[in-house]
Amino acid sequence: MEQNDLLNQVKQRALAWLTDSYDPETRAEVKRMLESEDSTELIESFYKDLEFGTGGLRGIMGAGTNRMNIYTVGAATQGLANYLKEAFADLPEISVVVGHDVRNNSRKFAEIVADIFSANGIKVYLFESFRPTPELSFAIRHLGCQSGVNITASHNPKEYNGYKAYWADGAQIIAPHDVNIINNVEKIKDVKEIKFQGDKSKIQIIGEEMDNAFLAAIKTLSLDPEVCKRHHDLKIVYTPIHGTGVKMIPDSLRNYGFTNIIHVPEQDIPSGDFPTVESPNPEVPSAMAMAIAKAKEVNADVIFASDPDADRIGCVVRLSNGEYQLLNGNQIVMILLNYIMVRNREMGRLLGNEYIVKTIVTTETIRAIARNNNVRMYDCYTGFKWIASVIRDLEGKMRYIGGGEESYGFLAEDFARDKDSVSAISLMAEIAAWAKDRGLDFNQMLQDIYVKNGFSLEEGISVVRKGKSGAEEIQAMMKNFRENPVKELAGSPVVTIKDYADLNETDVPTGNVTKMDFPTTSNVLQYFTADGTKVSIRPSGTEPKIKFYIEVHDKLDCAEHYDEVTAKAHDKIADIKKQLGI
């Protein structure tokens, strides 16, 4: 009976999409679903509204209230436009930037977004074609706009698309603007309230001039231009994995002085179908397979990749035995921050007011590197909107020199406020040249960092629990970890528990509880042991899974013991996983 009630409700919602308010193509797709004997697609498409969350929209493309289409995108844009007119009522003209990635329908959605903003009297700067997400963030600040929208689903499968909303500082929206925008979107009850008829006089196309300004700004981040010149012929394989980095990243590498950039031709083709990979995600080893094959063919020094909207970085390094190894996100962030701090110190540019930012689930070895270089480090929640929030709070007070997270995101600059693979890859190439100048390969440099700052090994584990019962199981797991806290991990006693749900930090030996300084609460729990082990547990906000981040530490006396210490750390992580039942 419950299923029949749901189906009847879904059919009523779907029938409303057969009116003349919707275009013929949409009506035909809805009619097909209604007439199908299998109601699965109909239910999935209409059983709820695609929610405008704190990061915007993300979903499968298609007709329906729970899908990415011109009407769900339209409602989001109309709601955002309404709020902008409230928030900036005193301005003579409100302006926004609109961009998009290579995904199917991205250009179509971007043009509709531009039309709706312009129909609401808002000036629009629309990119002429696909561009990296960080360039949109840069353009908002560069042009002095009040907001921006990027049509992208990052590294999701090809069926997906998304809608990211940005504020005047170039960062993705946070409180109070996120809630205020959501409220305005939810007020739109009828498609007729969406102003689809654009005012072309208010839409300005931007492109090459913004590209040049963005690349020039990225060039200023170089900390050793001479080393790039000396090793200009460094063999660099780069793949955009069919995404937006195809032009900007090679251009930036050339801007840094590198002349030997080797492409993966099949993956240089921009395509929302991502035809050569199962997943267009540089975190996934299979996505790097063609680039690794090309690197072996030409004996490349290093391989770089970016995801479809070019905000995440992938990096594969050549080992001394000629094999290639994928760096994890923690290692990428650690290498970048180490280089930035060390070079700033060598250049006499560390004056005591510099700081870096990492997320709470990112490796604690970064804390040691910062301490050893007398640089302040701030922790924040997962997501670059929180790194951007720290930058905003400290603007004009301290100098930001870099920040990142374990999920393959890094931001070297403050002239953009979202993770940026264009600048990150440019700097990683410079680091490869810098290491080569010292007779080291990437792996030897990584070992040197561990010797100087302590060794760590990290592993992330996602436990998937689908459906309503799965969500309840995840809630029960978090409840159990809170009510029955872990006493020890791999033989080392837990000494600190941080619960971000109530911002309580508990010193276990004394029982003392202090409040942590974070802007809001979050459903994250962390255990720290006496030997430096850290376990972070958090349910995913977008997928039916609970994530465990395990980090173990050890001392590395010399590089010769690296393999031995690494093997020991792997064993320790295996023990902890078994202990946690994952």
Torsion of CA 444, 445, 451, 457, to 10 degrees: -80
Q: What are phi and psi of 319, to 5 degrees?
A: -85, 170
Contacts for 518 with CB less than 8 Å, ≥ 6 apart:
380, 381, 500, 503
How confident is the model over 220-249, as pLDDT tens digits? 999 999 999 999 999 999 999 999 999 999
Element holding 267 (H helix, E strand): none
Please determine whether the domains at 48-206 and 233-453 fall in the same fold group of CATH.
Answer: yes
Domain 233-453: homologous superfamily in CATH: Alpha-D-Glucose-1,6-Bisphosphate, subunit A, domain 3 (3.40.120.10)
> Measured in whole angstroms, how far is the alpha carbon of residue 418 from the centre of its chain?
8
Contacts of 169 (CB under 8 A, 6+ apart): 140, 141, 388, 392, 417
Cα-based distances in Å from 405 to 292, 297, 411, 424: 24, 32, 9, 13
User: Tokens 């020039």 label which residue?
Assistant: 216
Whole-number Å distance between alpha carbons of 335 and 490 = 28
Q: Decide: helix, strand or coil at residue 221.
A: coil
H or E segment at 387?
helix 384-394
Catalytic (active site) residue 154: yes
**Across-strand partners of 489?**
492
In sequence order, what are the residues at sequence separation of 6 or more whose Cβ sits closer than 8 angstroms to the Cβ of residue 73? 57, 109, 112, 113, 151, 163
Domain edges within the chain: 48-206, 233-453, 455-580
Residue type, 190: D
**Rounded-to-10 torsion of CA 30, 6, 179, 106:** -20
Residue 216 makes CB contacts below 8 A (sequence gap 6+) with none
State the DSSP code for 514.
E
How far does Cα 189 stand from its chain's mean position? 32
**What pTM was estimated for this model as a whole?**
0.96
pLDDT of residue 1: 40
Decide if 228 contacts 222 (C-beta within 8 A): yes
The whole-number pLDDT of residue 2 equals 64
Report which DSSP code applies to 476.
Answer: H
Task: Catalytic residue, from 154, 252, 306, 389: name it.
Answer: 154
Return d(Cα 198, Cα 113) in angstroms, integer: 9
In the block, residue with structure tokens 């592993």 = 459
Per-residue pLDDT tens digits of the chain, which is 582 residues long: 466 788 999 999 999 999 999 999 999 999 999 999 999 999 999 999 998 876 789 999 999 999 999 999 999 999 999 999 999 999 999 999 999 999 999 999 999 999 999 999 999 999 999 999 999 999 999 999 999 999 999 988 999 999 999 999 999 999 999 999 999 999 999 999 999 999 999 999 999 999 999 999 999 999 999 999 999 999 999 999 999 999 999 999 999 999 999 999 999 999 999 999 999 999 989 999 999 999 999 999 999 999 999 999 999 999 988 999 999 999 999 999 999 999 999 999 999 999 999 999 999 999 999 999 999 999 999 999 999 999 999 999 999 999 999 999 999 999 999 999 999 999 999 999 999 999 999 899 999 999 999 999 999 999 988 776 778 889 999 999 999 999 999 999 999 999 999 999 999 999 999 999 999 999 999 999 999 999 999 997 656 789 999 999 999 999 999 999 999 999 999 999 999 999
Which residues make Cβ contacts (< 8 Å) with residue 552, sequence separation at least 6? 456, 457, 490, 532, 533, 569, 572, 573, 576
CA angle centred on 152, ends 100 and 261, rounded to 5°:
75
CA distances (Å), origin 417, targets 53, 115, 381, 384: 19, 26, 15, 8
Domain over 48-206 is classified CATH 3.40.120.10: yes
Sheet holding 324-326, edge to edge: 261-263, 236-239, 302-306, 313-318, 324-326
CB 497 within 8 A of CB 537: no
Return the axis-axis angle of helices 329-346 and 421-437, rounded to nearest 10°.
Answer: 60
User: Is residue 82 helix, strand or coil?
Assistant: helix
- Residue 59: closest CA among 130, 159, 148: 159
- What pLDDT sits at residue 343? 97
CB atoms within 10 A of CB 279: 16
CA distance 441 to 302: 10
Which of the following CATH numbers is that of domain 455-580: 1.20.1740, 1.10.260, 3.30.310, 1.20.120? 3.30.310
Q: How many Cα atoms occupy the beta-carbon half-sphere of 528 within 13 Å?
A: 15
